[in-house]
Structure 1
Amino acid sequence: MKKIIIIGGGAAGYFTAINAKEKNPDLDITILEKGKDVLQKVKISGGGRCNVTHACFVPKDLCEFYPRGKKELLGPFHKFMTGDTFEWFEQRGVPLKIEDDNRVFPEANTSQAIIDCFQKAVDKLQIKVLTNHGVTEIYQQDKKWFINTKQQTFTADKVVFAAGSSKKVWDLCKTLNHAIIAPVPSLFTFNINDQRLVDLLGISVPNAIVKIVNTKLIASGPLLITHWGMSGPAVLKLSAFGARLLADKNYQYNVEVNWLSRPTEKVFNVLLNLKKKEPRKTVILKSPFVEISKRLWERFVLFADILKTQNWADLNHQQLQNLANQLTKGIYNANGRTTFKDEFVTAGGVDLKEINFKRFESKLHKNLFFVGEILNIDAVTGGFNFQNAWTGGYICANALAEE
């Protein structure tokens, strides 16, 4: 009977174990989890609803959401894709639903549905799950793997690292001569202390264009004002694709925001028409753009050097231009970051050049595998990091199930 040890009691570890055991019931599989609880990231994902995957069904298109891993995941996505994820969970009594933003959740609307699905499968397949078993050492001798925890020593024919972003586990990988790309945060919000945003917590726009000044980094999507600055999908996408560059800048940079996703000239013309059509109306009283709330509009008006009492007819060319600029190319200074805790992801991990992605197996050691975020693979928020775990886990499971 082949013995398999899976290091990490998270989504990738469970998914790998279940698929491997279903393909080869003779396997003896043990999951080692360092903490007292398993599947904690699944539990808090998507605000406790578990953002299982994303409704993107073309492998090449799906790869575009991965700042790191884009090239390596193309082949694997042709073997296990978003549609396969839907089928996998539905076959096990957990139907999924697609929301308006294409994020995918269990129809039950709770992460517990996913946790229960995994736990039921593990119990049925007699896969052992040992908590409080942090691995302290791993080495290979006579084609057998030896895995030490504080409690005991395990032997295995095959080992899977599925422990996510863990410095201790990355250090273990280094003892096996695997290179680790130094980790930096990948999903974070921008800390911006700007009077235009003060006390506007919770105000959002549906589609902004956000740029990092003097770089090629640009993203679009919903933008949310928080008590510490800016967040929302547009900012989180920028933080993912700019993870290394922004870390190099020590998280100090300028952000340009087009709150309307429209050219400055067109916005200027809208304002000019208002000056002609509604000359006697007070500028600050009402936003002419449905995307911009009254309170946010008031800030832009005041920062365009327009007085509270001025009517549209009173505005000169420079004031109209100032207002158009505030709406379409306002500059904000970012100083620091705040981690997006519910979807905490890092850029970094095991060097992808050392992995055979047809099996998710080490190129340095036979029968050593890596799945999930332990690899230098990460994605924007929206279910993509879980899809990486499902795809890697499925392909790895096929390799584990081989005689």
Structure 2
Amino acid sequence: MRAGLVLVTGLALLFGGAVAASVTESPRPQLRPGSGAVSAAVVISVDVPVRSLRPRARPDVADGARVALASGNTGFDRWIAGFRARAASAGIRGDVFDRAFQGVRYDPEVVAKDRNQSEFKREIWDYLDAAISPKRVEDGRAALRRHRRVLNRIEAHYGVEKEIVTAVWGMESTYGTRLGDLPLVQSLATLAYDGRRGAFFEKQLIAAMQILQSGDVNPRDMKGSWAGAMGHTQFIPTSYLAYAVDFTGDGRRDVWSDDPTDALASTAAYLKRFGWRKGMPWGVEVRVPRGASFGNTSRMPSDWASRGVVGTDGRAVRDYGSARILQPAGPAGASFMVFANFDVIKRYNNADAYALGVGHLADRIAGGPPIQASWPRGYDPLSFDERKEMQRRLKRKGFAVEKIDGIVGPNTVAAIRAFQRSVGAEADGLPSQQLLSLLRRS
């Protein structure tokens, strides 16, 4: 296998920062409606029943009325009936539960996605090609310009740079264009009933009930990904309860609507909670001496410079703080000096590749250059426009390519392999110059 970090796409890449986040009870700052003053908003822990901080949602059915279940799956119906009692013991009112579960059915497609999520693996360079595509950079700059005023307010309030917040938004929902449109309660209930990670998803479902009970959203609008991630920056319910903020001051923490303000502020609040330091970079690309070995040692940049580790401009990196050297593809690929803020990004999603993607996308949105070093790909790569040409040619030949977007995801890899098998070539699935030449000739 070629040198490099193998990334398994799955829950960690869908969940925002929610999977590994510890959920605690702590005060969070919140803006009062119509003023610049700051007041305290208590963050809810999902581990114990609590009184809602939000106005009670107005029920569609009278308290005590039971919604008849008709999911088409008797085992699922029995599970819902048992879960209703567990939800009640966690403080969920009966009317809230019944409204949430009205029309809920077992969704086998959600289970299929959960089962198949780990099949697609990408090397670090393929992951970054998709994460930092020219279109994502361009769209990120446009999103920052469009929302600059509110992003400046969020940066001033939480001390998290607007480019970082915008980059998380881009990575999680492509700047709000892919929020997820599945009924959240139905997806979570299906996964909790399925049982493979039932305890985790039942905890998320209880948290979703608490969100509904608080009045932040109604069941009709509570939508998300198949795995339960919600809104512009893809919080799962427990993280939403712990870290979401009402930055607009309208009494709701609304991460679902067309206005991304609350979602972006919630992301900044989350990063600040885990120690983000304004003015410190997440990391910088560096040059390292040939044959050097670094391990997990942390040093000040000036100390690294005395050992021959310098920026791509040949000068010592500023002493922003202690840093370690990260070589995600080994010594043959790019090297980065990463600071404490890199690990804060990993609290949002605990993967080096994700943190690299967010950090580098933020740099590109701010006008920074692409990564300078080459990757040990083992093949001649395609440019962004060539990847789109490859997708167009595959689709024209009848192979199942969903989008002509230059992003080589599992769907495109499957189409590449199918084409390669059809012409008797090695089915390596690589988006290479050799593949494009073969497509042009056939």
Does TM, scored on the shorter chain, surpass 0.5?
A: no
Return the TM-score normalized by structure 1.
Answer: 0.28
Higher RCO (C-alpha 8 Å, min separation 6): 1
Which structure shows the bigger proportion of residues in helix conformation?
2
The structure with the largest alpha-carbon Rg is 1
